[in-house]
């Protein structure tokens, strides 16, 4: 996450959003985020933060939706990483906005996406 690269504890920025029930996660987001952390204490703190966030299940239906999304985008010449497709499918399922600097998400018309997290909800 860019916040962390800037020396900002992501939990500080995300706390207000989380306290208002406006942040969701899925296993892919959790895994992708945690794998990039170098310090064990920071990883443990973020893992505890993820533990209290609502999780969008990656069940069999979601994998079917992801497969369909991937197939449609591939046919349109928009080849996206599988991790991004799963994250997008999760967000589409609940009508959430994906916050990511990754511009792959702008290729998904049915997805709400923005590059950065606003200061306040």
pLDDT in tens, 4-28: 677 777 787 788 888 888 899 999 9
Angle between helices 40-52 and 27-35 (to 10 degrees): 170
Q: How many CA atoms lie within 13 A of 27 on its CB side?
A: 5
pLDDT digits (tens, 9 = 90+) for 43-58: 999 999 999 999 999 9
- Tell me if residue 113 falls in helix, strand or coil: strand
Residue 108 near residue 100 (C-beta atoms within 8 A) = no
pLDDT of residue 2 exceeding 80 = no
Largest CA distance in the chain: 44
Q: For the residues 26-47, what does the mean pLDDT come to? A: 92
Residue ranges per structural domain of the chain: 2-114
Q: For domain 2-114, give its CATH number from 3.40.50.1010, 3.40.50.300, 1.10.3720.10, 3.40.640.10.
A: 3.40.50.1010
Nearest CA to 49 out of 62, 37, 67 is that of 37
């Amino acid at each position: 996450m860019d916040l962390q690269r800037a020396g900002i504890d992501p939990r500080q920025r995300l706390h207000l959003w989380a306290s208002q029930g406006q942040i969701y996660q899925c296993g892919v987001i959790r895994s992708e985020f945690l794998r990039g952390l170098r310090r064990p204490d920071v990883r443990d703190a973020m893992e505890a933060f993820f533990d209290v966030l609502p999780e969008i299940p990656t069940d069999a239906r979601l994998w079917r939706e992801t497969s369909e999304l991937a197939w449609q985008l591939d046919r349109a010449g928009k080849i996206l990483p599988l991790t991004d497709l799963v994250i997008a499918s999760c967000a589409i399922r609940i009508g959430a906005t994906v916050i990511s600097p990754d511009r792959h998400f702008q290729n998904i018309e049915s997805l709400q996406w923005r590059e950065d997290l606003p200061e306040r909800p």
